Chain A
């Protein structure tokens, strides 16, 4: 097994799709939220929506770190980059996210020292190699990514690398799911749970969703058969009037998560009392900050950060799309003012953003389909 091709096997996909049709009650409309942007991308990339009966609606969730980051945080990070001798480093998918005065890439074009890194460890390497400069890593991501930032900071500490800091925007998935369930305009029947976040946090943190909210949740892998099998598992729970946490992605996700990764996070991070999410507002205890013992590596404490709140462009409806209230194409700017080449909102930037995924895979297809046969 190489763990990819097996889970893309066409005949099994056809059979699983048939099983889903058998399990779905035609008299009922189902709304399943895929929490993770990786699933959103897989669903569009593999055309999985077309393999489901029309009464199963997939609602895209908030699990796209680039998308949920408010514009003010990008401006704050870029304000640090504007200070002399600072190298701003970030993952590639941050580079085209618009701030008030343009994206990191546009700031680079104007002369700021902005570089793409593949890993936080590469940012630390850059700091070691450039002792005369200060390297700041613009950290984003859920619990999948936070342990890697934590371990990098532990290394910086152990090695005494002082010209390195982290601008921390790490967020946690559970409070976001809670905010969605608490939102009055949201009606979700069940959840496709985030697979890679769960490699770290395990499956236990979702138990309240089943127990107290009565919603089934299946932690799912990202290949076509993984997602389809998860949909079938959710339907089976709903048919049996059950609500439990199931783990479809057992080959990767241990029920208890990854202890070493959780330990690293606990060593370096503390919960912020609140954090702003784009489109969702302030959510309490939903993000991580560096502990006092790591203050020296905390860019927010080392540099003066404007901390300005910026409201999104009025016409862009990123918030509604992010919460699953609107589909990407229902936003007035979609495909007109807002395209992957010139994004207005972050959901059009990241490949996991619902708008970018929809634009790349679904948009043109629907144009083709609309030609009368």
Chain B
């Protein structure tokens, strides 16, 4: 239910009161409202849920999380004396 998926904003436009974007999820595109992420721009990845973007994905944070994971794995190997 709280399933939300990352997609890339291809283009954004204003329709009446709303800012709406074409967002690509893997092979498909959907119209997604940007009301909750007013600063999102084409090229950004957003997390969308029931037709509304809830968050702009922070690439820097994603990379830091990934780096932490790599570091954690390396630690585990050191302690087990592998490699």
Chain A residues with a Cβ under 8 A of chain B: 1-4, 6-7, 11-12, 15-16, 18-19, 22, 36-38, 63-66, 91, 93, 118-122, 140-142, 144-145, 147-148, 151, 155, 158, 194-197, 199-200, 225, 229, 232, 248, 250-254, 258, 260-261, 264, 350, 352
Taking a contact as CB atoms under 8 Å apart, the answer to whether B62 and A251 are in contact is yes
Task: Determine if B54 and A22 form an interchain contact, defined as CB atoms under 8 angstroms apart.
Answer: no
B54 near A196 (CB under 8 angstroms)?
Answer: yes
Bound together, the chains give a CA A120 to CA B52 distance in angstroms of: 10
- Given the known interface contacts A18-B76, A121-B33, the answer about A252 and B2 at a Cβ–Cβ threshold of 8 Å is no
Q: Which residues of B contact A196 (CB under 8 A)?
A: 2-4, 47, 49, 54
Contact with A along B59-83 (1 / 0, CB 8 A): 1011111101110111111011000
A250, B50: Cβ atoms closer than 8 Å: no
Contact of B1 among A12, A140, A148, A264 (CB under 8 A): A140
Interface centre among A36, A37, A93, A148 (most CB of B within 10 A): A148
Size band of the interface chain B makes with A: 35 or more
What residue in chain A is nearest B72 (Cβ atoms)? Answer: A19
Whole-angstrom CA separation of A321 from B64 in the bound complex: 37
Contact call A232/B4, Cβ cutoff below 8 A: no
With A1-B62, A22-B76, A158-B17: A16-B55 Cβ-Cβ less than 8 Å: no
Q: Which of A65, A155, A197, A232 contacts B72 (CB 8 A)?
A: A232
Distance (Å) between the CB of B3 and the closest chain A CB?
6
The winner among A93, A122, A194, A196 for most chain B CB atoms within 10 A is A196
| B51 at interface, CB cutoff 8 A | yes
* Contact pattern, B 12-31, Cβ under 8 Å of A = 1, otherwise 0: 00000110000000000000
Q: Which residues of chain B come closer than 8 Å to A254, judged between CB atoms?
A: 55
Instruction: Given A151-B33, A196-B4, A197-B2, verify A15-B73 contact (CB < 8 Å).
Output: yes
Q: In the complex, are the beta carbons of B59 and A148 less than 8 A apart? A: no
Q: Are B76 and A121 in contact (CB under 8 A)?
A: no
Q: A223 → chain B, closest Cβ, in Å?
A: 10
In the complex, residue of chain B having the shortest beta-carbon distance to the beta carbon of A19: B76
| Nearest opposing residue in chain B for A149, CB measure | B50
- The answer for the CA separation of A199 and B46 in the assembled complex, in Å, is 12
Instruction: Report Cα–Cα, A93/B1, bound state, in Å.
Output: 8
Contact A119–B1 (Cβ < 8 Å): no
Residues of the A chain whose Cβ atoms lie less than 8 Å from the Cβ of B1 = 37-38, 64-66, 91, 93, 140-142, 144-145, 350, 352
Interface: B11 (CB within 8 A): no
Closest chain B residue, CB of each to CB of A141? B1
What are 5 inter-chain pairs, A to B, with CB distance below 8 A? Answer: A4-B6, A144-B1, A196-B47, A248-B65, A352-B3
Candidates A2, A140, A148, A253; contact of B6 at CB < 8 Å: A2
Known: A118-B50, A253-B55. A145 touches B75 (CB 8 A): no
**A16-B69, A251-B65 known; A119-B79 Cβ under 8 A:** no
Q: Which chain A positions have C-beta within 8 A of B73?
A: 11-12, 15-16, 18-19
Q: Are A119 and B51 in contact (CB under 8 A)?
A: yes
Q: Is B52 in contact with A147, judged by CB distance below 8 angstroms?
A: yes
Which residue on chain A has the smallest CB distance to residue B54? A199
- A229 neighbours in B (Cβ, 8 Å): 65, 68-69, 72
Q: Residue on B with the closest CB to A261?
A: B36
Smallest CB gap from B80: residue in A = A18
Q: Select one of B2, B33, B47, B76 contacting A37, CB under 8 A.
A: B2
Which of B4, B36, B37 counts the most A-chain CB atoms under 10 A from its CB?
A: B36
Nearest CB in chain B: distance from A171 CB, A: 11
Instruction: Please determine whether B2 and A260 come into contact, CB atoms closer than 8 angstroms.
Output: no
**Nearest-neighbor residue (CB-CB) of A260 within chain B:** B36
Which residue of A has the minimal Cβ distance to B18?
A: A155
B-side contacts of A36, CB under 8 Å: 2
B68 to A: closest C-beta gap in Å: 7
Counting from the closest, the 6 A-B pairs by CB-CB distance are A15-B73, A119-B51, A19-B76, A251-B62, A250-B61, A144-B2
